[in-house]
Amino acid sequence: MRVLSLLGFAQASGNLVSGYNSCLVALRRRRIELVVLASDASPGTKATFEKAAKGVPVLYVGTKEQLGAAIGKPARAVLCVKDAGIAQAIMEAVNTRKTEAEDTMEE
């Protein structure tokens, strides 16, 4: 999945914040371009970050295990991308994947 590769790149380049508390602090400081939540994050975690995002795009990608593995860490429910270019690339990758899935279903 290209999105997970991009998250790994963001981690390697120092443009990723991971974990619940660290992401909340970064969002409050307005230093985040994209919030990535695991689809299996708890309802409370999802609600907290949807509210805290305040205009920052929120995507649901993979599971906690997949997000953690993508950045070389244990399971993570939330990741925050600091770089606008990487955030844009991730959003485009997600949209491309959805379009491909829709095309497959129409056939």
- Domain 2-106's class? alpha beta
- pLDDT tens, residue by residue, 64-95: 999 999 999 999 999 999 999 999 999 999 88
Name residue 35's beta-bridge partners. Answer: 58, 80
Judge contact between 63 and 39, C-beta under 8 A.
Answer: yes
Per-residue pLDDT at 8 exceeds 90: yes
- Copy the structure tokens of residue 104: 């497959």
pLDDT for 5:
95
- pLDDT tens, residue by residue, 19-61: 999 999 999 999 999 999 999 999 999 999 999 999 999 999 9
Q: Return the domain boundaries, the chain.
A: 2-106
